[in-house]
Structure 1
Amino acid sequence: MSGRGAAEVAVVRVRQRDRRRRVLPMLAAVRLLGVRAARRDVVLLGAWFVVVALAVGVAVGGPRLATRVLDEGARETVAAAGRDADLVVTVGGSRADRAMRAIDDLLVDIAAPGLRTVVHEVVVSLTGATTPVLTVARPDASGPGEPVAAPDNLAVGLTLLDSRVPADSLVRVVEGELPREGRVAATDTFRVAVPAAAAEAWDVQVGDVMVLPSRRVAALGEEPPTVAVEVVALVEAVDPDALVWSDDVGVWTAGRGDAMALLAPPQLAGALDAALGGTATTVLRYVPDPARFDDEVAGQVRADLRRLETSAETLLPARIQFGAAVTSALPEALDDFARAARSAAAQMSVPTLGAAGTVALVLVLLARLVVERRRSVLELERARGAAVGTVLLRLGVEALTVTVAAATATLALLAWLLPGTTEPVGLAAVLAAAALAAPAWGSVLARRAWSGSRVPANRRDRARLVRRRAAARVVGEVAAVLVAAAAAVALQRRGLLQTSTASTDPFIGAAPLLVALAAAVLALRLYPWPVLAASVLARRSRGALGVVGASRARRALQPLPLLVLTLAVAVGVGGLLLVSTIRAGQVRASWDLVGADAMVTADDVGLLAARLRDEPGVTEVVAARVVSGARADLGNRDTEVTVLAVDEPYRVTLEGLPGADVNLAALDRLPYGTTVPVPERGDPRPTVQAVVSPWVAERIGSRGLSLWVSGARTELDVVGTTTYAPLGSGRGPFVFLALGTLIADQGALPPTVAWVHGPGAAEAAAAVVGALPPDSADTVGTATATSRAAWLAESRADALVQGVERTLVIGALVAALLAAVGAVATALAGARERGRTLALLRTLGMRPRLGWWLAGVELAPVVLAALVAGGAAGALVVTQLGTAMGLDVLVGGVRTPAIVVDGAALAWVAVGAVALLLVAVAVDALAHRRMRLAEVLRVGETPGG
């Protein structure tokens, strides 16, 4: 190597050695100063850890919780539908044989991905048209036996014995041997099994051969075709109520006078049906598994079902899809779930967005407080030559350490409590904000400490600069208020639920958060006035406490702490008021839909109403006839109305029901206890007195009002109007009559509803309905009893409702915790300055334990302003915008629930604010415990500061 090259290498090594000498001490200094700062600000860093953990919890746990709620709602919806959720496909005619041959491919051939995911079983049933038996041949010991005439009315029907299921799990063989699959010709004898009970009723035995008529067309000159069927087994059902028998009713209950079932495996049953002329109907029941549903799968299934309405190709094999009829209650159930799910998702987005906004502000607040507490240290380091990069590195390492530790702990806790997928965008945003907030503030402070801030020397220029900053602040505040107003108007007009999209508009969803921000801006503007008024009174007090307290209270307000506390209070108040509104709306919905403590319905409840009046715990029973969709002739137009023919206690019982605080006096004019006789043919029908809705009364023409019910016309004499609208009984407008005056051609129409009132109404209704004899359907029809308490309990147990309430409560608790962190951090941020003031006052004779006074007068106005502004914002959002938040879909009633301002919720928020203030003052007192008066007066700072 040449001398020049060796010299260059030596220079490079020297530079590297100098760089290491500079970097290593810098890293050592960063480590030493970082450890010292962390020990000094351990409380603030602990608060930082808590806030970062909450931020990660909101960003990750919020979407997971919403997803879990919607998934549980989807599964609950399908489970509640029961067997009605099954897709029942009916294939008749010549396609039935093809359907039976395609049994093994039914699950495989489902083309729709959603249906293929949720369908876990296909049950195939075969119901044949009833066929009479022509003759029965019973073999004897010497031969096959001679045919004899069949018993009178003996008929058979074809039933499938599914070969995919083990035979011993379907039936038990009482005698003989089950028929096996195999090819047979139309002229062969078909081997079948019959139920043992039916065989005993019809005196049919194993070995009997029955001759059945066929619908096939016979050739000219030939005898009508027949089919021979041999009974080879007598069987009993392992479970007569099993799903496989549900579409072939009467297989195991057939007795004398009913058709007897012929059970055969698919291939044999198809050949037998073809031989009989193709009269059987194949029923394919696709059974969905509720456990396989979630919100996303429910959406896919809904899309598949829409296509299934026009074509069966997504469900059935091609060879049998033509002419197939598909019926199911699953589409309607999923449509209802979709509307409720959108409402629940929108409701859950409100506290999530509110908590996210509060967390973001707390992160900024803590970052600023951490840096401000170290201002003197950072400025001293800069004066001694420390680089901005050193400050940035130290704060960055500290922030990254806290962020990683908090995020790791929170994600581990969520993986245990709330497993699910993670939204990477939200998590990345939270981690970036948490790791960069403090370094960003520190670098700005360090740079300003070096370069300083230039101020114009000219007084006019300085005044112009002040006016420019004030104008910029005013523009920003006005913009914040206008944006909040625009979001509130959009929410009120368009609603939280968007009909054109499946998700909530973020701008509309953030309306409560924006309103809270606007309230905080107004509080910043209005804060000085009440504080100034209080300071005037404080200056007149004796001693220095009043003057010092008034001075510090006027300077105490800072935008960030007030924004944090205002948002937290608004989220808490809004969440608690929404919970109280939902629960009150469910109570109102229970009264609307049930109408009393219990309701009994039947084709004729007159006898049941009489029995209910004698039951213990029943105070009143109202019998009524409800006719929805009746036609009312107004004289110049027709309209549909709901008719309520009620008996006399109806008006009295209404006075105690929610929502009945309207004009009910007109109902007293109805002729209760009157029975209108049916007029003879050709006689005019009598005029019946009625009370109608104002909408009907205003539109009655000159020819009067008449009503058409059950094909009979009744002339009405309007004796009054009422605005009471029992929407749970039907759509308005309403016509009220006295029970007994609503007549048809066969006489007065009987009551169909009995509303039962009293503490024992539910038990009485269940007992009376349960005591009905089996033959009561011939007299009263199918009777059902509904308890209002049971309906309310079921509504509140709904997965979506519970999920929304849980989210709102969690949002309120998170907001309370964030408010506590913000208040404690604010108290610690001003602790040193208050310490210097307290030390100065002690030299004037003030007692050392009165330091809580300084903290109280400095923090109380901020907490009080946040309580007023946040409480007003939360109450304003709920009272003015709550009706546009889709609560009616979630509550499940017939009307939009009235907004309820729960005084208990507001009281809890006020108590929480007082507790928050006490905690902040206590933390400040703890910060002053180790303060030494001599050191503070000597250096103007607390030790270690």
Structure 2
Amino acid sequence: MSGLLGLARRQATAHRAVPVALLLLVLLVSAVVTAWPRLLAGVDDRQVTHEIAATSPLSRDVVGVLPGGLPRLPAPPAGSTPFPPDVEENLGGLYAALEELRAAQPEPLRDLLGDPSFWLQSEPAEIEPPPDPLMGRQRLRLTVDPYLADRVTLVAGRWPEPHIPVDPYAELAEGREGLLTVEERLVLVNAAIAASEPLEVLLSAPAADVLEWEVGTERRITGNTVPALLTGTYEVTDPRADHWAHNLYSAQPYVVDDLNLGTSAEAAAYLAPSWDGGLPAGMPEHVRTFRTQMWFPTVVDALSADDVDAAAAQLTRFTAPQPLGEAGDLVPAAEVRFATELGEVLDRVRQQQAVTSTVLTVIASGPLGVTLAVFLLAARLLVSRRRSGLALLSARGGSGWQLRSVLALEGLVIGLPAAAAGALLAVLLLPGRTAPADLAVTGLVALVPAVVLAASTSPRGLRESRADLGTRPSRWRWVAEVVLLVVTAVALVLLGQRGVQPGAGETDVLLTGVPLLLAASTCVVVLRVYPLPVRALAGALRRRRGLTAFLGAARAVREPAGGLVPAVALVVGVSVAMFSAVLGSTISAGVQATAWQSVGADLRLSGPVLDEEKAAAIAAVPGVAGVATIGDAGTVSVAGERLDLAVADPAAVRAVQADGVGIDRLPADLSGGTGDAVPAVLSAEAVEALGAGVGDTLEAAVGDGVTLEVVGTVGRLAGAGTTGDVLVEAEAFAAAAGRAVLPRIALVDVADGEDPTAVLGRVREVEPVALAQNPAGDASGFLSSPMAGGMNAALGVAVVLSLVLVVVAVVMTQLMGAPVRARLLAVLRTLGLDRRRARGIVAWELGPLSAVSVLAGGVLGVLVPWVVLGGMDLRALTGGEEQPGLVVDPLVVGGVLGGVLLVTALAVLVSTVVSSRADVAGELRMGEET
């Protein structure tokens, strides 16, 4: 055994370059496989936070509603809530019940739910408008918010005082109330109203302006009750705070301009926070019907990617009906049902995780396959350098087990410390979390050198021989290759029959396996087909006088450089680079098309009224080629179907969208309707809902009724936002309806050669308030998400890593045949062969195989994305509603393929130059000694 260890020590100290290269390879691979899951975990965690934060508070927060007035729950211990004592007395019990409910939830849901919030609000109460009002119909929603003082700033007047209602029946004897007549009741109610103070309320300053209500004045509430006194106005401290998303009437009044009902405004009128549930006598019954809206704000950064499944399941259970607070002796506990759209967000996150996991698995499998091929090449190279010592050990009776043990031991000495160092390096340089299963992969990498070295060693393999002589074709190889091709064909058929499927929260095994099967099948075809033209070429060159081409072609057939392994490395490496490039182009084009579908033009302005005067001013801005405005006529009944009606000039819309990317354009011929009918364009959804087509007439329930004639259809009106089921011609609709719709969307076409950002800056001088969008900004915003950034980074790393591994594979392949090649060239040099022709002979060893492998890898790199698009829903990666089409950008594909060819050619050239510089005297002397 000591002799075996001594031999292993002497072997390790000889030819140090190869073990050092293998050690560095293990170090690199172990660092990558340790860092990869940490990187993906970090990307997934940030994507969860990104998706939750991008959802509106009203959608993501967990909201519940209790009807029936002020909840009567037992008051908590004094000082246990964030409210003042007078507020805590009435509303503290509700806060305590919500806190207890949250505390009872399991993790991670408990951390996901923030501190509870709530307010109480009545149904709208009509108030008497002033003379010649801006808003014909004015309504208040009486509101109680215990958090209001912390979220607003009083700008005029004072805070309202609690209303002390006068009980009209307080003086009656017990049981007398039920005996009163209607007239007697009315007398008592009027007396109570006369004895009561006005109901003091607080409005936002914008609401007071719209309602034309001055501080310190009263307004009569419709019905027989006390008036409302405006004691003060406020401005919200942070208009963007999530709190205001739960009340549309608090920060700003809710103003509606309805075609049928005219203008109206609705605002929240705040009562004193210490309100005890009492209201003035005579208040309309519907106003007395208060509801309590409660919500748990979502803590956007509370979840990690690993928590998504558990949180989704817990959230589903939490939204089932459940009691709030404790039941009394005679009164059952109130039952509340919470609701949220956060579950849909988590489902979308799970789909994104499934899609990205599958795509990244496909991407990672390529470099992994090339890495294994490189490991095999390194092992065979090391065995070739150890051949003399191993042959001596075998000649002296060493068994195959002993030979393998020597190299396996050397592999362990190389692999274990290198893998540990690589894993430690990844953990130190990249923050994140590492699961035990991830370290198991690193452990397997540490064992790879020992395994491949042992597998590459056998007593029979220590004798040098020509690969093309003395062997018969293996029947089992044919069987294995046929089985592989059949399995690949079956997998393709199954994937095609299954069609596009959205992510289901886990890696798609079939979709992940098909690219691997295609890569393996391509390698088999290359190795079977490659010798045929080379052998024919060698036969043709035999009759020519030149030596270089004939001898190079003959050696390419007799002594293929590395055989299967370099072919696998080249095919898979090139295909991964091409796959990454094509998939990146497809995703980028899909994101651009989605952005254009949302924006609809080079620039999109929305928000304030953009009438003809404003549109003309925008059109006059230097750099603006055209403007089209779109008005939202609301949801109306069209032939019995509720559809969103958009009002615009179709010709102007078509003109500004002429250069749009990936959007549906309006038909070119949109001639007017016949008679008094209004020309209309139906979206695809409207066509399906109505069952109508071009030439049909439809009735729209607007005013006294408007007749529409369908003059065209479009898949979807880009840039219309939430409207656009039906697009009608503006002037004809205004004439038919007797009223124009004020547009709030403007699509702006930027002149050719102008920078949209610079043009937007000039447009801002004309319209500084409107929300501005442009496709490039929306696309860059989506691509800046953690998921998109991680995907782009992974694609880039895959391209670079594949090219590096291709270079390493080419170099190692050339080094593996260096001894035999050196002896051949030494003999040929003594016969008069110059260095130039020697380099040609060396280049022939790997040149044909490299060319064929690169070509096959390029075809495979385009085929795999096509297969992936046929079986995977990539909408999660583009943010769109439609599956993106395959995009093969000639510039990108040509650049990647040209880079691969250049890198491969340089690797072949460098190794050729080095290999051709053989020491003639040394090689001949070694030949004489052997």
1:365 and 2:377 matched: yes
Code of the residue aligned with 1:288 in structure 2: it is T
Residue type of the alignment partner of 1:60: T
Task: Output one character per residue of 1:169-208: Cα deviation in whole Å (capped at 9) or x when no partner.
Answer: 7899xxxxxxxxxxxxxxxxxxxxxx684438xxx8xxx8
- Correspondences of 1:500-539 after superposition (within 5 Å): 501-536=504-539, 538-539=541-542
Q: Is the 8 A contact 1:125 1:247 kept in 2?
A: no
The separation in 2 between residues aligned to 1:526 and 1:562, in whole angstroms, is 12
Q: Distance in 2 between matches of 1:447 and 1:402?
A: 25
Q: Would the alpha carbon gap of residues 644 and 351 (structure 1) be closer, same or farther in structure 2, given more than 3 Å must change?
A: farther
> Secondary structure of 1:901's partner?
coil
By how many angstroms is 1:862 displaced?
Answer: 1.7
The CA distance in 2 between the partners of 1:543 and 1:703, in whole Å, is: 75
Alignment partner for residue 65 of structure 2, among 87, 90, 99? Answer: 90
Q: 1:229 to 1:31 in 2, by over 3 A?
A: farther
Classify 1:799/1:211 alpha carbon distance in 2 versus 1 (closer, same or farther; 3 Å).
same
Which residue of the partner structure matches residue 113 of structure 1?
A: 107
The alpha carbon displacement at 1:828 in A equals 0.7
**TM-superposed deviation, 1:68:** 1.9
Indicate the residue corresponding to 2:581 in structure 1: 576
2:7 is matched with 29
Contact 2:373 2:565 in 1 (8 A): yes
Q: Is 1:600 the counterpart of 2:605 in the alignment?
A: yes
Measure the CA separation in 1 of the matches of 2:106 and 2:169: 38
Q: Distance in 2 between matches of 1:623 and 1:258?
A: 29
Aligned-partner residue type, residue 563 of structure 1: V
* 3-state SS, counterpart of residue 91 of structure 1: strand
Instruction: Call closer, same or farther: CA 1:230–1:611 in 2, change over 3 Å.
Output: closer
Give yes or no for the alignment of 1:63 onto 2:51. no
2:732 alignment counterpart:
741
Offset from partner CA, 1:730-785 (integer Å, 9 cap, x none)? 999987764433468623663564321004666666876886699xxxxxxxx643
* Distance verdict in 2 for CA 1:434–1:641, change over 3 Å: farther
Give the TM-score taking structure 2 as reference length: 0.76
Between the aligned partners of 1:632 and 1:130, the Cα distance in structure 2 is 29
Q: Deviations over 1:798-851 (max 9, x none)?
A: 221111121122122222222222111111100111101100111111124654
- The Cα shift of 1:411 comes to 0.8
Q: Residue 108 of structure 2: SS of its match in structure 1?
A: helix
Q: How does 1:553-702 map to 2 (within 5 A)?
A: 553-557=556-560, 558-601=563-606, 605-607=610-612, 608-624=614-630, 646-659=649-662, 667-671=668-672, 685-686=676-677, 688=679
Q: Over aligned residues, Cα RMSD in angstroms? A: 4.9
- Identify the match of residue 789 of structure 2 among 802, 819, 828: 802
The answer on 1:51 being equivalent to 2:25 is: yes
1:331 alignment partner in structure 2 = 343
Map 1:525-924 to 2 at 5 A. Answer: 525-536=528-539, 538-539=541-542, 541-557=544-560, 558-601=563-606, 605-607=610-612, 608-624=614-630, 646-659=649-662, 667-671=668-672, 685-686=676-677, 688=679, 705-711=696-702, 712-714=705-707, 716=709, 726=717, 738-742=729-733, 746-747=737-738, 750=741, 753-758=745-750, 759=754, 784-848=771-835, 850-903=837-890, 904-923=892-911
> Superposed, which structure 2 residues align to 1:445-484 within 5 Å?
445-446=458-459, 469-484=473-488
Q: Report if aligned partners of 1:651, 1:668 keep a CA contact under 8 Å in 2.
A: no
Equivalence for 2:386: 374
Calculate percent identity across the aligned residue pairs.
24
TM superposition shift of 1:668: 3.5
Offset at 1:857?
1.0
Q: Tell me the equivalent position of 2:210.
A: none
Aligned length: 817
Per the TM alignment, residue 926 of structure 1 is displaced from its structure 2 partner at its CA by 3.6
**2 CA distance for matches of 1:717 and 1:798?**
41
Aligned counterpart, 1:417: 430
Who is 2:158 aligned against? Answer: 199
Q: Is the CA contact 1:623–1:647 (under 8 Å) kept in the aligned structure 2?
A: no
Return closer, same or farther for 1:198/1:826 CA change in 2, 3 Å cut-off.
same
Of residues 289, 296, 299, the one that matches 1:286 is 296
Distance 1:803 1:216 in 2: 71
Residue 412 and residue 920 in structure 1: after superposition, are their counterparts in 2 closer, same or farther (change >3 A)?
farther
- Residue 694 of structure 1, CA deviation: 14
Unmatched runs of 5 consecutive residues or more in structure 1: 1-22, 133-152, 173-194, 454-461, 678-684, 775-782
Partner residue, 2:92: 100
d(CA) in 2 for partners of 1:602 and 1:77? Answer: 25
Residue 183 of structure 1 is matched in structure 2 by none
Q: How far 1:892 moved relative to its partner?
A: 1.4
Instruction: Deviation per CA, 1:426-478: give whole Å up to 9, x if none.
Output: 33433333332212322xx137669x99xxxxxxxx99x977x4433222222
* CA–CA separation in structure 2 for the residues paired with 1:732 and 1:773: 24
Q: In the TM superposition, what is the alpha-carbon distance from 1:128 to its structure 2 partner?
A: 7.1
CA displacement 1:841-900 (0-9 Å, x = unmatched): 111111246543232111111211110111111111123543433223311123222212
| Structure 2 unaligned blocks of 5 or more | 74-90, 127-137, 178-187, 201-230, 254-265
- Out of 558-567 and 873-882, give the one that drifted further: 873-882
CA distance in structure 1 between the aligned counterparts of 2:268 and 2:597, rounded to whole angstroms: 46
1:937 paired with 2:911, answer no
**Post-superposition offset of 1:622:** 2.3
| Cα distance between partner residues in 1 of 2:773 and 2:356 | 27
